[in-house]
Amino acid sequence: MKKIYFAGSIRGGRENMEIYAELIEFLSNYGTVLTEHVGYKDLEETMESEKSDFAIYDQDIAWLRECDLVVAEVSQPSIGVGYEIGIAESLGKKILCLYNEEAPKRLSAMLAGNEKISTCFYNSIEHAKRCIEGALKNL
């Protein structure tokens, strides 16, 4: 069973939370999503307030070490997601970044220009799901 780390903005903005939830549900058909909480609607009011920043950091690093694939929805800029991608790259993990072509801000060149990261510029959820299927086939 594959272990998948899904990254999406939490403190940087929750505008894409519904997209995260749908992508996480789709990913769960292919393995265990270690970070399924990223798609929870009430995440900040519940889980985020129950753990210290140190505990969140330690857990996320452990999950990044454990996972087979990192899928990051990067349409909403997030320092945390960028950091997670950097850690995943340093650990030699396979990384797929999903970027909605209709997002108001351009994707960071640090992601778009990194040949070690697969980036999917998607225009629909179905398109994003096809990108995920392609990444999973290459594991």
Q: Which residues are part of a known binding site for substrate?
A: 20, 84, 108-110
Residues 71 and 120: their CA atoms lie apart, in Å, by 11
Nearest to 8 by CA among 39, 48, 52, 50: 39
8-state DSSP, 80: H
Token digits for 3?
């272990």
Measure the CA–CA gap between 138 and 135, rounded to whole angstroms. Answer: 5
Binding region = 20, 84, 108-110
Provide the token pair at 88: 């995943």
Of 134, 97, 126, nearest in space to 113 by CA = 97
